[in-house]
Structure 1
Amino acid sequence: MSEVLSQREIDELFKALNTGEIDVNEIQEANVQKGIKVYDFARPSKFSKEQLRTLEIIFENYARLISTYLSGHLRTMVSAEVMNSEAVTYSEFTNALINPVILAITDFKPLKGSILLELSPNMGFTIIDRVLGGSGSGTNMVRDFTDIERVILEKLFTQFVQLLVEPWQNVVELEPTLEKLETNSQVVQLISPNEIVALVTLNIKIKNVAGMMNICIPHLVIESIMDKLNTKFWFAQKEQELG
């Protein structure tokens, strides 16, 4: 039996909806009960669960490297772990930012385009305080960064960017570079607002201070290697490396 409606049936359906004979909510509930998934054509899913999980594995390694580096650099115990990963629009990511921000625009060579590393300001001020000889006990200052503080942050993110190489080596041989450090989110227009990005969130803890690092990866940047973002490929490459 054909499931394609005739024009007459379509007209009758719209008439029933307009007169209230058919309840849209009831239709939606029925679809849920039948296990029907509503597809949003305005926001197609460009990252599968498997691909997001692979990104989590990559950045779990990255979190360990950050933890080791900061522990030695700041001479105190630092922990870092992946909190979650999700696919969102670029505008959803940028709209959640509150100035001043710490945004590291990172050229993701040899892939075409850039990614963003965003560190919460409280974590930035804590690291700066520790580097300058303070206790690093934390601060909730809401102000822009001084020139000296920006220099410290640029050196920090230059190292953070280089730490990306090892976790990604089973997928692509990266040669990333820090393009620019921005503290005003409004001047950073990396891609169009509706483009889909993968957002990986790390939780970083220095002594009693906790903060977030977000890694924003546009789909356009890693589109050419999406087929390698699966756990089977990643672990197979890892076994070859160890073997």
Structure 2
Amino acid sequence: MSKRELLTQEEIEALLHVVDEGAVDADPDGPVAADVKTYDLASQDRVVKGRLPTLELVNEKFARLFKVSLNNLLRYPVDIGVGGVQIMKFSEYLQTLYVPTSINLIRVKPFAGTALAVMDAKLVFRLVDQFFGGSGTQASAEGRDFTPTESRIIRRVLECVYADLVQAWKGVLPIDIQQLGSEANPSLLNAFSANEIVLVNTYNAELDNGGGEIHLTLPYAMLEPYRELLESSGQGKASEVDKRWVPNLERRLLDARVNINCAIAERQISLKEVLRLREGDVIPIDVPDSHLVEANGVPAFMAKLGNARGNLALEFQEPYVLH
């Protein structure tokens, strides 16, 4: 717009005056209802942004721990992978579940509210089949409840899940898990409102005969008071965990067994002399005053050759110093 197209102060005041008197219709077309959309400022959709690095680290640690626990339970190799964290409305999440699904309501202190530990039917049937040494064939279970035997296996697996989750969170925030109840039909679940935002942590379990998924489903409102902690890179907490591991790591390193060897003497001779050697031949050598002792091939210390209780022995003199 050029300078001469701008309104003067007198022109602006004149326009405002006629609008106040009603001489000009300030909204000639009226509102267009079709273009108006309601927006809920309290909606959680607007605040769930970005990654949660600390939560991702916890998930990775849990997967490693749970792999060991499940292998020990089944006495069979099982691979556990992290499927990531999905953010969705609870109504959308329910649409991903089938009947039956092992849905377990849990309380995770110090978080407020109720969370879900979920195992899909495919995984349950394959775990049961493997536990009892089955053939690996897929059982038909659509639309039915879990049998008492399947429920017992579910409980044993969940015990491992809860224990490993507690351990995985230990370096970030100490938690305690209590099971409140269980359900096999997702449509009967009323723990959350349809529009509530949930974080679905997925873990993939793979056996030779197939696999399935385990979900840890957390309401966003449950984690919101700890959002800053979960959004951090986790480096500070990781360093604290590392410090706690140092004494145990040092102790295990010091208990490691190594091979030591010591060359008593060395001499170079020609290949011709080697080929001429016969039984009883003598090779003159000069025995040095001290000998280099190596630990797993690494120079460790200097020692003196001697005798102890009738056996050849090495007497420590000083650490080896690389010049």
Would you say same fold, with TM above 0.5? Answer: yes
Distance 2:180 2:162 in 1: 10
Question: What does the per-residue CA deviation read over 1:95-141, in whole Å, with 9 as the maximum and x for residues that have no partner?
Answer: 22111111121111122222112111011011112222324x24152
Partner of 1:156: 157
Matched with 2:181 is: 180
Q: Which residue in the other structure is 2:50 paired with?
A: 49
What secondary structure sits across from 2:176 in the alignment?
A: coil
C-alpha distance in 2 between matches for 1:219 and 1:11: 45
Structure 1 distance, partners of 2:27, 2:59, is 50
Give the drift of 1:196. Answer: 0.7
CA distance in 2, matches of 1:13, 1:72: 71
* Map of 1:123 onto structure 2: 123
Query: What corresponds to 2:172 in structure 1?
Result: 171
Task: Report which of the two has the higher share of strand.
Answer: 2
Q: Alignment length, in residue pairs?
A: 215
Q: CA deviation at 1:181?
A: 2.6
Q: Which runs of 5+ in 1 are unaligned?
A: 1-5, 19-23, 25-38
Give me the whole-angstrom Cα distance separating, in 2, the residues matched to 1:185 and 1:205: 24
TM-score normalized with structure 1 length: 0.78
For residues 8 and 152 of structure 1, what CA distance do their matches in structure 2 show?
A: 74
Corresponding position of 1:87: 87
- Tell me the equivalent position of 1:139: 138
Matches within 5 A, 1:12-31: 12=29
**Alpha-carbon separation, structure 1, partners of 2:162 and 2:175:** 10
Q: Which residue of 2 aligns with 1:212?
A: 213
Contact 1:199–1:216, Cα closer than 8 Å, also in 2: yes
> Are the counterparts in 2 of residues 158 and 178 from structure 1 also a CA contact under 8 Å?
no
Amino acid at match of 2:140: M
Q: Call closer, same or farther: CA 1:230–1:208 in 2, change over 3 Å.
A: same
Deviation at 1:8, TM superposition (A): 6.5
Does the alignment pair 1:240 with 2:233?
no
Structure 2: distance between partners of 1:104 and 1:202 = 16
**Structure number with larger C-alpha Rg:** 2
User: What is the alpha-carbon root mean square deviation over aligned residues?
Assistant: 2.6
Q: 1:27 matched to which residue of 2?
A: none
How far, CA to CA, are the matches of 1:8 and 1:111 in structure 2? 56
Structure 2: distance between partners of 1:152 and 1:8: 74
Map residues 29-44 of structure 1 onto 2, 5 A cutoff. Answer: 44=45
TM-score relative to the length of structure 2: 0.60
CA offsets per residue over residues 147-176 of structure 1, 9 Å max, x none? 222122122212211211122123321011
The runs of 5 or more residues in structure 2 that have no matched partner are 1-18, 244-323
Q: Which residue of 1 aligns with 2:297?
A: none
Residue type at the aligned position of 1:152: I
Q: As a proportion of its length, which structure holds more helix?
A: 1
In 2, distance between residues paired with 1:86 and 1:231?
18
Q: 1:138 & 1:45 partners in 2: Cα distance?
A: 46
Question: Which residue matches 1:75?
Answer: 75
Q: 1:216-243 deviations in whole A, cap 9, x for unaligned?
A: 11012222211110242x2211111212
Which one has more relative contact order, counting CA pairs under 8 Å at least 6 apart?
1
